[in-house]
Structure 1
Amino acid sequence: MTIAPPTRQPTDPGYPIECQVALEAGVRALCDEAGVAGWSQPAVFRALAQLVERQARDYVEDPDPAESSSEIAPINLTDLS
């Protein structure tokens, strides 16, 4: 999978949308592949949301991703901006 690099600065209001567009095809392919493997789409979406929350929390706590938490806890994703 190839992800297009940003063409905008992080402070540009369009930056988050551009990031979504860059990631969309890969996320869709991942969801489709999980469905083909037999996972229900609701289960895939819940799992992805939990994984993203965990990674976001870990990043907020320590931007060095060398270590990862094993627990899943809610996070306010607006804390990342």
Structure 2
Amino acid sequence: MALLITDECINCDICEPECPNEAISQGDEIYVIDVDKCTECVGHYDDPQCVEVCPVDCIPLNPNKVETEDELWQKYRGLTGKE
């Protein structure tokens, strides 16, 4: 499942450069995660890097984008071209 940045975001700019898929960008009021690019860092790291660095713990799983680990791996392969 993709991740989601909640309205508790303080726009600290820490998460965006940590995302290996460039799925995080500045939205109108807070940072947002592109669900089509978010793999929860599957294929890159053991844990989602944005969650690891977030100082306010505002990046939960997105209940509107439920994905299995296999689906996350497929997305990773599609984004990176790696097998």
TM-score, normalised via structure 2 length: 0.28
Q: Which has the larger radius of gyration?
A: 1
* More helix per residue: 1
* More strand per residue: 2
TM-score, normalised via structure 1 length: 0.28
